[in-house]
Amino acid sequence: MRTSGATASALSIEGVTKYFGGLVVFEEISFEVGEQEIVSLVGPNGAGKTTLFNIINGLMRPNTGRITYGETDLTQVPTHAMAHLGIARTFQHPRPFEGMTVRENIMVGSFVANDSVRSAMKAAAGAADTVGLGKRLDEPLDRLTLLERKFLEMARAIATSPRLLLLDEVMTGLNPTELADAMNVIRSIRESGTTVLLIEHVMNAVMELSDRVVVLANQQILADDIPGVVSRDPEVLRAYLGEEWDSKREGINGGTG
């Protein structure tokens, strides 16, 4: 389990269970995300990672358990209030507002933390600069690549001035150059003081980027530790990473724990 020191907890998942009818998605899962950590939530398709995101930001409720953000019990907070608490998220498939420019899309987020049009525009421009879209503010969406649409989704989220950012598979489908760009953006978001919890399947990026990796599989948390430890955990290898990953992990992790 977690060995990463005494970082204060920004998000705490305590004994959370979710089921739909007779289908148990996960049962009694618990882990914490420390302030300004980058924590990756990984696991097989269908393990319940996005379901957990939906519970964290109020789109679903757990059947049992508690999720706290600071002193706030998120299981009692409606979805529309999450951004005002400092929680933002992206979705696996970008959901831009069609017919609006890049700037206008980001301003939808920036109005959460800004009262005037001028300040919202300034915040939107800052968020665009963070993700590399600063020169594309007045362009329509149909000129954006997949990567740029993913960055737009991130910019709209960070324009709300979040203290906790949930990223759902923002690196899936990117080429190596795009992947490096996305990782740099995520690092810069953390450096601004934001805690990041991300769902991701691109394991090379997960292992290089994360402070900790939490593995959700078989309805439970199989591992919660630094990347080098998780990458050689026998249970994780059997349930998710597989023998092929075991054979190449030394080159990625440098053999460190």
**What's residue 7's pLDDT?**
56
Q: Is residue 117 part of a domain?
A: no
**Total of domains in the chain:** 1
Would you say residue 46 has pLDDT above 60? yes
**What's residue 74's pLDDT?**
93
Show the domain range for 69.
1-76+204-257
**What's residue 245's pLDDT?**
57
Whole-angstrom Cα Rg for the chain: 18
**What's residue 152's pLDDT?**
93
Range 45-60 average pLDDT: 93
**What's residue 243's pLDDT?**
59
pLDDT in tens, 161-171: 999 999 999 98
* CATH number of the domain where residue 232 is located: 3.40.50.300
**What's residue 195's pLDDT?**
95
Calpha distance 128→103 (Å, rounded): 8
- Indicate yes or no: pTM above 0.85: yes
pLDDT band per the 50, 70, 90 thresholds, residue 255 = very low
**What's residue 244's pLDDT?**
60
pLDDT in tens, 155-208: 999 999 999 999 999 988 888 998 998 999 999 999 989 999 999 989 999 999
Would you say residue 51 has pLDDT above 60? yes
Would you say residue 6 has pLDDT above 50? no
- What's the mean per-residue pLDDT of the chain? 88
Would you say residue 109 has pLDDT above 60? yes
CA distances from residue 103 to 88, 141, 181, 229, 248 in whole angstroms, order as listed? 18, 10, 21, 42, 42
pLDDT band per the 50, 70, 90 thresholds, residue 248 = low
Calpha distance 160→130 (Å, rounded): 13
pLDDT in tens, 198-241: 999 899 999 999 999 999 999 999 999 999 999 888 888 887 87
Q: Is residue 137 part of a domain?
A: no
Q: Is residue 110 part of a domain?
A: no
Residues sharing a CB contact under 8 Å with residue 77, sequence separation 6 or more, in sequence order: 58, 85
Q: Is residue 139 part of a domain?
A: no
Q: At what angle do helices 102-110 and 117-131 cross, to 10 degrees?
A: 110
Inter-residue contact 162 to 84 (CB < 8 Å): no
Q: Is residue 24 part of a domain?
A: yes
Q: Is residue 118 part of a domain?
A: no
Q: Is residue 197 part of a domain?
A: no
pLDDT band per the 50, 70, 90 thresholds, residue 256 = very low
Inter-residue contact 87 to 56 (CB < 8 Å): yes
pLDDT in tens, 142-154: 888 888 998 999 9
Q: Is residue 175 part of a domain?
A: no
